[in-house]
Structure formats: structure tokens, C-alpha cells
Structure 1
């Protein structure tokens, strides 16, 4: 589970990058280097820098981030696609009507009212699913007694619950992984920004590179958080919904098998 401290760390690093770069730029502006170009050339360079900075686009940030940056963006894209697919899948599969079909409940209830366990088991085989698997485990152990039925139902319920929650857990993985990829992109942008300050002379070219590096850092952070926030939100939503369905399914199972408490099996 992602911790708020991790998100705070990401935001703190991004803020530190902007503050550090701004401080260095202010120092350079206050102390011009020796051999600086004449005033006319400086003015021309300053007029050229905003034009280059305005030309920075998202695609330029991606393509200009180097091999590691492209890999990070591909990772964020994969997280986005996986998160969307998992959300859609959970919307379809984690529904009470799908996990606990009313037709199966009515059929089994009718069969149990008639005392026909074989018929109830046949209905479970005709409509496979989590509830059918749990009931089948209980009906298959009728000859062992009610305690054996309860044990079998308990084990089957745990297995079906684990299967159901396992699908939701992958959303938590996406929610944890995306901010970490964004944080790695932020660190990469910081490294490139300070490398630019140390290797290039002050001017339009340096400003353009700084803008590109800072954009890389902030874009990856924003992308990671944009993926993580909905992924974690849907994770908690589906987890709570699955838990509610599981509790209802267990209560329904107990209600359906309680008529087997005093059953007597006659062996032919």
C-alpha cells in the first residue's frame, strides 16, 4: 500500500529541483562570467531563449529525455494501460449479480427445500462460479457429516475470496509502481539539469536545456501521480465492494446448508 510519505517525497524533490535551479540561475545573473558577449549579443540571446522555451512540447520532452527517459515513459504508459484494463475488468466481474446469481440461489434453495442434495449439486455444476464452487464443496461432503460440510465450505470460501481479491490487488501494484517511476524520472531530470548548469555557458542554449530538463522532471512526476491516484481510489473501492459481496456470500451459504445439520445419510 502506497504511503503518503512517498508522495510527499516526490513533491519535495520536485520543489527542491526548481528551487536549486532558480538559485543557481540567480547567482549567474548577479555575477556575469568573464569574456561574456557584448551587450547586443546578450540581448539577442535573451530574445531567442523565450522563443526556444515556448517551443518545448510534451513529445520533445519524451524524445529528449534519453534512453532511460523513454524507458520510464514506456513504463508509465504500460501502468496506465494496465490500470485502465484492471478497472474495466473489476467493473465487469466484481458484481453481486455475477458472483451470486439469483437463479442459482433460487434453484438450490428449492432443491434443498425438497431435501434433494443431488439436484442442488447438479444446479451448481450447471452454473459454475464462486458461489457454486463453495456450495459444491459442501454438498460433496454430505456423507461426512455437518462438521465436515462446514470445514469444506470454509476452505472453499477462503479460496474463492482469495481469487476475487487477487484481481483487485493488481490495482494496488499499479498505484505503487507509477509514482516510483515518476520519482525516478524526477531524479533523472535533476541530474540532467545540474549537468547542464555545469557544462554549458549561460545563454539561450543553456536556458532551453534547463527548461527541457525541468519539464522532464515535472512531467514524469505528474504522470506518475495521475496514474496512481485513480488506481488507488478504485483499488479501495473494489476491495470494499468485494469484501461486502464475500460476506454476503458466506452468510447465504450458511443459510443454504443449514438444512443439512440433521441430515441422515442412508447407504444403499
Structure 2
């Protein structure tokens, strides 16, 4: 009996050893995959791309970066100068504005002499436009308003001159950048064709293209602020000259009562229109002492 039980147990051990072992697939995958906590940081650090050095990239832009740099200096200079020149107090001085409003209330007592002296004490575009209007005292009201509009247009054109350079920078700087990019891409494709068969042409071409795009980036960096400044300054001029026109239309009715009677000289004094000296007529020819109808006889020639 004991022998039989021992034989059965031995047979069971042999069967267990000969049977194939079952392997857990999930455990196998966990063993074969790397532990993200242990080795992931090293791989991510090695695969992370390096940042772009802007200064070194700009230096690779080549000679096309020189005119773009010049335009950037022009934009910065004009922007700073126009910010100072187009301030509200310089275009429409508050003291002159208050003085003209006080003289125009009521309009029937408006004094052109005092207004002209106030314009001379506060030199500005407003003062020049109003002074040109006051110097037409004695003319019809329609002519005075036309003269004021023409003077305001001249002042606006003079102040808008530097702003046109900002518009030029807005238009031409991106074209400079695009020209540099096209030339850089032509060089990149040309140099790629000259590489040997074993070299990596795709990597070389990619490097050439991203360097070529530097000039376009620089052109846009200059053009966008130039466009913003140009529109800002144009808006400042528009608002200022709307105010100047309002001041002129406020002052002009006060000159209507002098039409045909008084005028303002360049010293700022009201003088009658009849006080001007009449033009001097050219001297008349000296009349002849001989009575009319008598012909002058020429001396007779000697008879031979």
C-alpha cells in the first residue's frame, strides 16, 4: 500500500516537471518596457531641442540685414521726434485757445489786434493759421474762411512730412526681408546640390532655409511698429486740425463787421482801408511848346 502511494506521488512530480509553464503576458510587458520614473528624464533631456539664440541668428542674416537695420533706426528716430512734436499742447496751446474763446464771447466785440498779438505770443500751427485769417480782415467772410482752410492744409502737410517716411518703412522693410529670404533659399538649394552622395542633404537644406527666413522676420519686426506709429500720428494730426478749424470758424464771424472798412497790417494794427497810399502814376510826357498842327521842318540841304 505504501509502495503504491509512493509510486503515485513520484508519477505526479514527473508530470508537473514535464508540463509547460504558463507566463503572464502583462508581467512580461512590464519587464520589457523601461520605467518612466527611472530612465525617462534622461531620454527627455537628451531629446529636448535647444533654444534659438536671436543675436547669433541675426548675425547670420547677411548683408540684407544692413538696410533693415537702417530702417529700424529711422523708425525709432522719427517715432521719438513725432511723439514730442505732435503733443496736444504744441499743436493747440491751451492758453491761446482760452484767449480766443474769451475774445469771441460775445462775437460782436471781437478785437483782431488783441487776437493777433496773442498768436504772436504763442507760436504754433494754430497761431499761424489764425494769424493768416486775421491778416485778411476787411475781406468777405467766404474769402477769409477759404484762406484759413488753405493755411490749415499747408500746416498739416508740413507736419505730415515725417509720417510719410514711417509709411515708407512699413511698405519697403518687409520687401527687403523677403528679398533676403529668397536669396538665402536660392543659396541653400544651390549648396545642397553640391554636397556629396553620403552627406545628409535634408538636414543641410533645413538649416539653410531657417537661416534664410531671418531677414523676413526682421523686416516684419520693423514694419509692424512703424505702421502702428504712422496710424497713431495721423490720428493725432486729424484731431488737432479739426480743433484748429473749429477755432477758425469761431473767430471768423468776428471779422465780418470790418468788411470793406478796416484791415489789419503786419504789425497787428487796424487801419482804414482808405489810408493806403494810392499807387503813383508814371510821369506824363513833357508837352511840346509848339502849337499842334505845325510840322517841324528839317534843315534844308545846301544846294550845290
Q: Does 1:191 align with 2:186?
A: yes
Q: Deviations over 1:34-69 (max 9, x none)?
A: xxxxxxxxxxxxxxxxxxx9799656555555xxx3
Shift of 1:127: 1.6
- Distance change >3 Å, CA 162–CA 202, structure 1 → 2: farther
Shift of 1:112: 5.0
Structure 2 match to 1:76? 68
Say which of 87, 93, 96 aligns to 2:88.
96
CA contact (8 A) 2:178 2:215 kept: yes
Looking at structure 2, the residues matched to 245 and 180 of structure 1 have their Cα atoms a distance apart, in angstroms, of 33
Shift of 1:212: 5.2
Structure 1 gaps of 5+ residues are: 1-52
Out of 55-64 and 110-119, give the one that drifted further: 55-64
- Superposed, which structure 2 residues align to 1:40-189 within 5 Å? 61=57, 69-70=62-63, 72-111=64-103, 114-189=109-184
- Distance change >3 Å, CA 105–CA 143, structure 1 → 2: same
Scaled by the length of structure 1, what TM-score is found? 0.69
Q: Which has the higher contact order (CA 8 A, sep 6+)?
A: 1
Shift of 1:134: 0.5
CA contact (8 A) 2:192 2:204 kept: no
Out of 222-231 and 209-218, give the one that drifted further: 209-218
Looking at structure 2, the residues matched to 55 and 208 of structure 1 have their Cα atoms a distance apart, in angstroms, of 17
CA contact (8 A) 2:75 2:226 kept: yes
Looking at structure 1, the residues matched to 246 and 139 of structure 2 have their Cα atoms a distance apart, in angstroms, of 22
Scaled by the length of structure 2, what TM-score is found? 0.62
Per the alignment, in what secondary structure is the counterpart of residue 240 of structure 1?
helix
Structure 1 match to 2:239? 244
Looking at structure 2, the residues matched to 248 and 60 of structure 1 have their Cα atoms a distance apart, in angstroms, of 50
Shift of 1:207: 7.1
Shift of 1:262: 2.8
Could you say which structure has the higher helix fraction?
Answer: 1
- Distance change >3 Å, CA 87–CA 56, structure 1 → 2: closer
- Distance change >3 Å, CA 262–CA 214, structure 1 → 2: same
Structure 2 match to 1:221? 216
The number of residue pairs the alignment matches comes to 213
Out of 250-259 and 163-172, give the one that drifted further: 163-172
Highest CA radius of gyration, 1 or 2? Answer: 2
